[in-house]
């Protein structure tokens, strides 16, 4: 069967599965809509968390950026992996013990202030909309290629699917849908990786294939270094980024992870505190399967790309290039008129431009794998993008319904609150779709901005809220605003106002927009600490509550500080 037929079958089957699960697990109460009723098993929650975590950036874009950036692309791998460990160890158990549904909920109670809660809601919306833009872009790319529709229509189709099961099922529907999506995406990622590893190195384990030898006995990475050097690129295993920028990007991704509201809320769906720890451990194992495979997928992809295009005549273009040209994500321009493709580092002479977001999606076609594998990858990419998009949309709807409306209308009925949450999710889908059609960068880059904003806003107030009894509401509010404004202004300036100045010579301390969230975080910590010590300390009841949260015991059901 043709690729398009396989794609329709596999994507259609998975979509039917997701919608069926959403109908079966339809939320009937606000508790089911927000936290799936708090009854999800640790294993299921671990799989759902992994799917929520491994977004379009992880599935589609991470290997793509490593493929084209080589060693420098590893900052994404290190930052996102380290960030999840940080989240699991430092934040998840304490927030779960506190017992609130959302991060703004925690901020509002911990800092005893509606103002602090509103600022946290604004930050959550800012981060979530930035993040979801990358997911919708990934959805558009997948549909554009495999269903042969424009990217705009691909985004619209994805919006409709997410709208259905996110708005209908809430967290309950999303959780069990994400379990299915994890199974789909990890199978779709590993199958072609195993195939290609066998093709190139004879080793079925991609992680070992990365360090293996090609048929001629040359180590794969040595061959890549040599080939790329001949084309004018820097060696694949050689880093070109400044160490300060590498450190700041990695740190921003790590602490941004720990401040992402759509991941944190997952730990409220399990019955007990120890289940939150256990589900975090399961999720780490599930995430590691993909993350340890990504470097191999990147190396295999760029090697096969160069091998299949080297000195190829225009008349004999590989089928995969001709196919992807229809999406405008690959451009071929015979600048010297010799009838051959020249893939070179010099933009003045380079005749082949490849969007880095297509590397994972195109790899099965480049390696000439069976058509069903290509369709499977399409289904997996859709699962990755839609799972995270759904989690983000739930955060957005919850922030509006529970953290805004419920705060100022405490007598709001459960039925009306649920209706507001669903309307908010519907509006969020439309806005996310717009940013998916008009993104401010490629998928991994857009997501990196979201992590930077989360690092600058949420991480300091959550960490200090748990581990310090002296930080007060004035410090939290001013700190969040300072960190968010600085980070957002830096990103907007270099990416939108003066993109021509976006280079290391003009960056502050040589730190790129992707890493500036680390500086925003330090500003937040500093401002929060100074303001808190210049203003009155929190009430004794709040300090007692903080001490109670840190007690390393179980659920403490009788605790007077237990929240609803």
Residue 264 in domain: yes
CA–CA gap between residue 358 and residue 324 (Å, rounded): 9
Q: How far apart are CA 14 and CA 425, in angstroms?
A: 22
Largest CA distance in the chain: 80
The answer to whether residues 391 and 321 belong to one domain is: no
Q: Which residue has 């300091």 as its token pair?
A: 460
271 shares a domain with 235: yes
User: Do 62 and 357 form a contact (C-beta atoms < 8 A)?
Assistant: no
Residues 385 and 378: their CA atoms lie apart, in Å, by 11
What does the pLDDT average to over 427-447? 68
pLDDT per position as a tens digit, 347-365? 888 888 888 878 888 889 8
pLDDT at 558: 37
Looking at residue 441, its pLDDT comes to 54
Of the residues 429, 449, 469, which one is the last residue of a structural domain?
A: 449
On whether both 328 and 445 belong to a single domain, the answer is no
Task: Report the pLDDT value the prediction gives residue 167, as an integer from 0 to 100.
Answer: 62
* Spatial distance between the Cα atoms of 236 and 110, rounded to a whole number of angstroms: 47
140 lies in the same domain as 173: yes
Q: Please tell me the least confidently modeled range out of 16-25, 31-40, 54-63, 402-411.
A: 31-40
Give whichever of 113-117, 189-193, 426-430 has the largest mean pLDDT: 189-193
Pair (272, 287) in one structural domain: yes
Our count of domains for the chain comes to: 2
Residue 329, pLDDT above cutoff 50: yes
Nearest one of 564, 178, 546 to 402, comparing CA atoms = 564
CA distance 465 to 107: 8
Residues 330 and 216 occupy one common structural domain: no
Phi, psi of 498, deg, nearest 5: -135, 65
pLDDT for 556 equals 45
- More confident of the two residues 162 and 105: 105
Top pLDDT among 315 and 226 is at: 226
Mark which of 342, 360, 378 sits at the end of a domain: 360
Q: Is 550 helix (H, G, I), strand (E, B) or coil?
A: coil
Q: Does residue 286 lie in a domain region?
A: yes
Please state the rounded mean pLDDT for residues 50-67. 81
pTM of the model as a whole: 0.79
Instruction: Kindly report the three-state secondary structure assignment for every residue of 98-141.
Output: HCCCCHHHHHHHHCCCHHHHHHHHHHHHHHHHHHHHHHHHHHHH
Answer whether residue 502 is part of any domain: no
Task: State yes or no: pLDDT of 215 exceeds 70.
Answer: yes
C-alpha–C-alpha distance, residues 450 and 92, integer Å: 20
Each residue's pLDDT tens digit, 370-399:
888 888 888 888 787 777 777 777 777 777
Q: Give the chain's radius of gyration (CA, Å).
A: 24
Mean pLDDT highest for which of 18-22, 96-100, 253-257, 485-489?
Answer: 485-489
Q: Minimum mean pLDDT among 191-195, 262-266, 297-301: which range? A: 262-266
Q: β-strand 352-354 against 330-332: which pairing, if any?
A: antiparallel
Do 205 and 346 lie in one domain? The reply is no
What's the pLDDT tens digit per position in 522-557? Answer: 999 999 999 999 999 999 988 888 888 776 554 444
Report, as an integer, the average pLDDT of 228-239: 85
- What is the share, in percent, of the chain residues with pLDDT greater than 70? 90
In a domain, 214, yes or no: yes
pLDDT of residue 528: 94
Model confidence at 445, pLDDT cuts 50, 70, 90, reads low
Evaluate whether residue 423 is within a structural domain.
Answer: yes
**Domain check: are 86 and 183 in the same one?**
yes
Report how far residue 387's alpha carbon sits from residue 60's, in angstroms, rounded to the nearest whole number. 13
- Between residues 449 and 229, the one the model is more confident about: 229
pLDDT of residue 446: 63
Assigned token pair, 291: 């993350």
Q: Tell whether the model's pLDDT for residue 562 goes beyond 70.
A: no
- DSSP codes joined into one string, 197-226: HHHHHS-S-HHHHTTSB-TTS-BHHHHHHH
Q: Residue 503 and residue 250: Cα distance in Å, rounded?
A: 18
Q: Is the pLDDT of residue 40 over 70?
A: yes
Q: Is-contact 516 248, C-beta < 8 A?
A: yes
Q: Taking residues 501-514, what's their average pLDDT?
A: 86
**pLDDT for res 472:** 92
Provide the token pair at 513: 């927009």
pLDDT of residue 564 exceeding 50, the answer is: no
CA distance 381 to 59: 6
Q: How many CB atoms lie within 10 A of CB 349?
A: 11
Q: Indicate if the pLDDT at residue 164 is higher than 80.
A: no
Please give the residue that has the higher pLDDT: either 497 or 410. 497
SS (H, E, C) 333-371: CCCCCCCECCCCCCCCCCCEEECHHHHHHHHHHHCCCCH
62 token code pair: 């991470």
Residue 559 lies in a domain: no
CATH number at residue 34: 1.20.1730.10
Please indicate, yes or no, whether residues 344 and 399 belong to a single structural domain of this protein: no
Q: Choose one of 449, 464, 489: the last residue of a domain.
A: 449
| 261 and 388 in a common domain | yes
Coil/strand/helix, residue 330: strand
Q: Is residue 78 part of a domain?
A: yes
Q: Quote the Cα angle for 558-561-564, to 5°.
A: 85
351 falls within a domain? yes
CA torsion sign for 418, 420, 423, 424 is negative
What average pLDDT does range 32-52 have in this prediction? Answer: 73
SS3 track for 132-150: HHHHHHHHHHHHHHHCCCC
Whether residue 333 has pLDDT greater than 80: yes
Domain that holds residue 328: 304-360
Q: C-alpha distances in angstroms, 274 versus 51, 92, 97, 105, 284?
A: 21, 10, 9, 21, 16
Together in a domain, 160 and 290: yes
Verify that 246 and 324 share a domain, yes or no: no
Q: Quick check: 38 pLDDT over 60?
A: no
Could you read off the pLDDT of 122-151 as tens digits, one per residue?
Answer: 877 777 777 777 777 777 777 777 777 777
């Amino acid at each position: 069967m043709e690729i398009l037929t396989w794609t329709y079958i596999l994507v259609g089957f998975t979509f039917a599965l997701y919608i069926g699960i959403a109908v079966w697990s339809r939320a009937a109460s606000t508790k089911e809509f927000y936290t799936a009723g708090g009854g999800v098993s640790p294993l299921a929650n671990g799989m759902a968390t992994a799917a929520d975590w491994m977004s379009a950036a992880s599935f589609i874009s991470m290997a793509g950026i490593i493929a084209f950036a080589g060693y420098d692309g590893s900052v994404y791998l290190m930052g996102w992996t380290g960030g999840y460990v940080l989240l699991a160890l430092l934040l998840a158990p304490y927030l779960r013990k506190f017992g609130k549904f959302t991060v703004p909920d925690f901020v509002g109670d911990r800092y005893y202030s509606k103002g602090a809660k509103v600022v946290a809601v604004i930050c959550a919306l800012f981060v979530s909309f930035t993040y979801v833009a990358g997911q919708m872009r990934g959805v558009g790319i997948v549909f554009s290629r495999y269903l042969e529709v424009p990217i705009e229509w691909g985004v619209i189709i994805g919006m409709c699917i997410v709208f259905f099961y996110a708005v209908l099922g809430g967290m309950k529907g999303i959780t069990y849908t994400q379990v299915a999506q994890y199974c789909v995406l990890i199978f779709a990622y590993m199958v072609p990786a195993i195939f290609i590893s066998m093709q190139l190195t004879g080793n079925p384990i991609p992680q070992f294939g990365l360090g293996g030898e090609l048929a001629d006995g040359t180590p794969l990475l040595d061959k890549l270094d040599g080939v790329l050097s001949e084309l004018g690129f820097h060696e694949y295993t050689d880093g070109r980024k400044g160490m300060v920028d590498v450190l700041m990007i990695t740190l921003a991704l790590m602490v941004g992870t720990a401040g992402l509201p759509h991941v944190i809320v997952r730990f409220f769906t399990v019955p007990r505190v120890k289940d939150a720890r256990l589900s975090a451990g399961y999720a780490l194992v599930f995430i590691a399967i993909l993350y340890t495979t990504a470097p191999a997928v990147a190396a295999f992809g760029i090697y096969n790309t160069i091998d299949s295009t080297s000195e190829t005549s225009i008349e004999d273009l590989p089928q995969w290039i001709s196919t992807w040209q229809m999406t405008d994500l690959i451009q071929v321009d015979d600048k010297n008129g010799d009838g051959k493709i020249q893939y070179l580092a010099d933009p003045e002479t380079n005749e082949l431009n490849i969007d880095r977001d297509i590397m994972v999606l195109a790899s099965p076609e480049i390696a000439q794998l069976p058509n069903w594998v290509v369709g499977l990858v399409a289904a997996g990419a859709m699962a990755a993008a839609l799972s995270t998009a759904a989690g983000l949309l739930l955060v957005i709807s919850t922030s509006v319904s529970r953290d805004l409306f419920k705060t100022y209308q405490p007598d709001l009925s459960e039925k009306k609150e649920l209706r507001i949450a669903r309307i908010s999710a519907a509006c969020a889908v439309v806005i996310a779709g717009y940013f998916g059609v008009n993104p401010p960068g490629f998928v991994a880059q857009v997501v990196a901005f979201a992590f930077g904003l989360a690092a600058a806003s949420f991480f300091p107030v959550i960490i200090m809220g748990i581990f310090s009894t002296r930080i007060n509401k004035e410090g939290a509010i001013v700190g969040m605003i300072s960190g968010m404004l600085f980070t957002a202004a830096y990103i907007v300036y270099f990416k939108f106002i003066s993109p021509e100045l976006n280079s290391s010579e003009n960056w502050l301390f040589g730190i790129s927009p992707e890493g500036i969230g680390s500086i925003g975080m330090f500003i937040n910590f500093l401002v929060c600490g100074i303001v808190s010590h210049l203003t009155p300390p929190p009430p004794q009841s709040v300090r007692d509550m903080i001490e109670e949260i840190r007690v390393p015991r179980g659920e403490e059901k009788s605790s007077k500080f237990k929240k609803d």
